[in-house]
Structure 1
Amino acid sequence: DGKPVGTTPCRVENLKLGEPYTLELKLRGRKKWSTRFTLDTTELRPFHARLQALPSGKPATVEVITTPPGARVSIDGRALKGTTPLVINDLQAGRKYTLVASLPGRRDWSTSFVPESGRRLQLSGSLPAEDSGSSSSTGKRAVFQLSSVPPGASFKLDGRPVSGSVTLRPGRSYLLTASKEGYAPWSERLRPRPGQKKTILARLTRRSQQGNTGSGPALLSVDSQPWSSVFVDGTLIGTTPVANVRLAPGRHKLRLVNDELKCSKNITIKVAAGERVSKKIVFGQGFLRVIAKPWAHVFINGQKVGTTPFPPKRLYEGTYKIVLKNPALGRSEERAVKITKGKTAQVNVNFLE
């Protein structure tokens, strides 16, 4: 409601039950995120917000220098070709990245950064030699202790069953989920830092008996793969996963939109009074095949994906802007291509004609 309460991750207390609130998140270089909610229980209610990058003009460039040189580099868990010193082009400006540099016999070096449009950013770091003791191999990893309320929940990490504690390598994110019979599913995305130690407490919400108490509003929870903005009857309610959205009994139209991938999905649901409804929406995938003579750089929605020839590329269903460029011939072509689940769309361009 316009009052600053802190920076994420953040816990807000002393809110009144039954009173509507507006939650708003802002981050430099990102689109503002907001949602309306009303609390009907004293249990902790989580919000997971995905702040989309603002559109930018020129791509950003980063130069990575390490001492000693020759380190392998990964960004957000994606390994890059080559070793340091390394120049990374075509990064999205305004977006936060996590970089990890690794070299055998040395401790990893990691840093987070937000590149600016059209500018070259230089990142420098040292990789100290590992100690001879065994503690060095675990010091650079993060350890998370897992527990739940109520106890007895089953945990999965990226779909793989885990229990007790997990030791994770920094440089990428992990999806931790918890489930227990009679309770709504719980999830949290972990972004480990070197040497981090933290206890993860999964607070589970009990499902209503038979899903219908016969009175009061319905509660809707939505998750999706990939992430998406969720609209109910035309009103934005948040970014997946969203939980315990109050709905009046009856039919409602859901629209899930991923602006970055330019894909969307529409479904209709019917809820009863007091019912708890959980939806997991998975967008279908198809393929894009590009054939260019003699060759072309290929861009999808402004991001370079490769130079022909390359194998058919898997994409989520939706409509994409495809641009083919051949600088040697001074030619380019732009197409709008619709990807359909289970099918292959093809783009043919002959720059020699």
Structure 2
Amino acid sequence: MGWGMDEAFTATSFGKFFLLAKIAEGGMGEIFLAKERGIAGFEKIVAIKRILPEFSRSSRFIQMFQDEAILAGKINHPNIVYTNELGEIDGSFYISMEYIHGEPLDAFLPPSAPRIPLDHALYIAISVLSALDYAHNLRYGEDLYLIHRDIKPKNILLTYEGGVKIIDFGISKNLQRKFATQPDTVKGTPEYMSPEQIAGSSVIDHRSDLFSFGIVFWEMLTGHRLFEAPTFKETCSAVLHRSILPPSSFNPEIPQELDEIVLRALMRDREVRFPSAAAFRDALLALRRKRGIGSGAIELAAYLQEHFGERIAEADLRLERFKGMTLPFPAEKKSNASTVDFLPDGKRSANEVVRKRSPSFHRPLLFLLLLFVGGGAGLLPLLYKRDAHLDVQSVPEGALVYLDGRRIGTTPLTGIELVPNRVYELRLVKQGYREASQLLQPGPGDRLRLPFRLQAFATLEIASEPPGARILLDGKVVEDRTPALLSHLDPTIPHTVELSREGYLPSIRVFHVQPGEKRSVTLSLTPLPGGGTAAAVASRGKGEGKAHPPARPVASATPKGPPVKPQAGKGTPGEGTSSASRPHPPPLPREASRKEGETSRLTIRTEPAGATILLDGRPLPRKTPIEAFPLDRSGRRTLTLTLPGFAPFTTTLEARPGETVTLQHRFERRQYGQLIVDSQPWTTVFLDGVKLDTTPVLRDNVPAGEHTLRLYNPSAGLDEVIPISIEPGRLNKIAPRFEGFLTVHLDRPAEVYLDGKRIGSTPIDRFPVVIGAHELKLKFIDLSGEMTLPLRIRRGETTRFTEATIR
């Protein structure tokens, strides 16, 4: 509010307000820059939203206007425009709101401005998501379940001081139901709508706002429009079907982690989007901490001043000029006015919801009385004190509260003074609970009341049979061995536990825990074939194979006898250099010679070390290098070595009783490419048998070479396997469209619409349509009416409609 002012507007009085300029006009109301006047020369710049005269007699629109104000009065967050009061003056209803000296976000985006730098884009995104998280979780007597439904650049304001504010917060789910039968009550902007909004879903939840802001964030990062199209119908089609490229395709400064965050927010299947605005925000905060990217209100204000200083200076002068305008109160004119004031916690005033204004002469009298009782001028600082305040509560209580890294007490806390318009980071820490955090930016006079429900860590009591196993938790070594108690498990992420013990195959399990859960698990370890421990067996064969230099694997085992030089042979092309040989084992003690003489063993050395070893598809408990590892049987075996970042190596070994197979391998670094899969209709994507996600899917670091892609959509009867080849260092896009055909032959001429889009007039012959469920509408040209029919398209088949089939 502060953009597009109509300076030709003639200033006029409106009750206690002096309307200075018209800011904007919408479908139901008009917004003015105004000066609120009070006793003793008190003045305050506000924004007034007033219902348009043509709607002032409509009880339905008045009720909607009042409900919008009452709802907005319950919202109190530093990143949402604050509502002061709802009132009525001479039959005209109005809402008094906080005035924002700034401009909408789209004024700072291309093509009218340069692309916003990454650090500022992250700050803006985190601020918006903090506001959405607050609103989506707002509870006030009943579950309001607020959804904005129209998140777009025009509804996100940047103040010239570096603040971020959401405006026009829409209506709650409760209010939506109230007016669900009325046309045009709930609106959105097509290029920023979610797919479920476009499709007219009867169930719209908070994840719709996340998709909409994902579009805004994508456009901030790239400087391009994501779903822009020339017509409304084409825009809707783009939201539903257009491929979404990662932001780094347009902006090379974008890191891979941010690509993945943005594309997850833009998943057309809401079940695979971020579950909440908090999860979206926390992912950005983690990225910002990891990358050391820092920006806040001060830095954003400096950026705006540097690039838009002249424009800001003009806006400052214009505002000062408006502030200097004066207009006296009409003499002795009584205004038939009523108001509803909103307290900082969103409640209405304590005594009455709606009260008639007292005659104006009572207020100066009351003020003079207060001055006399309160000691004259000493009372004025109290009346005009504008510091912001913070109240923090948590469930459970007793959490340590940190403000910008400084401990300020434990919950519950009340009356913490804050400097207006400054950005703070609030953290709550409590033993046994997950840390909670939130960014704050209070306005003058704000009183922020922040309730937190802390999530308790989970506890896992892990045991093994036999006990004494080494524990890896999420890849990190745990000091204790089984049985052990694993505490402080974050309930928001899965945890991987790996148990290993000499002489046993490792056991790996993934656990999904709930907040506060205490679980006991016992895992059984499988003994290695041949008995004993790997360490004991390895010590008996210590020193074998040391004399063998790296070479390519030989075609057959080396006969018993003195060590010989390995034969040169061809290895797998492009997989490095290896050697395999079987020297004579050292002499064994007589009492063990028969048993040990029947055991085949395996020695493997790799460069680099640390490779995972798969023998006939089963992992061995140790990584390379291994020495004289006992094999459970002799004969032909398939060996695979894998190491992240390198090409895997697979070969066949011939293990003979009493011999040790020695293998040396030098890995070659693997090349990677990017893969984008975006199918029509949507599909679940599997790459080489591993489930990735629902289209659109982006994956970096896909190994170059041949792969198998599976696209699965049971509702459309689709299960397609596609061989693909990934070219190294390139973006490999797979965008298959699975179609059937539509034919419409009628005796009457009719216009044919498919999912709301006109595709032509009858007759329609073999029109290509994406498989799945659709809506077919026929509008008869002879004005005999229209007909809506369900349509299911099957792959490669033609669905026909005739006069006989539509009756």
- Give the structure-2-normalised TM-score: 0.19
Bigger share in helix: 2
By relative contact order (CA 8 Å, sep 6+), the higher-ranking structure is 1
Q: Which structure shows the bigger proportion of residues in strand conformation?
A: 1
Higher alpha-carbon Rg: 2
TM-score, structure 1 normalization: 0.36
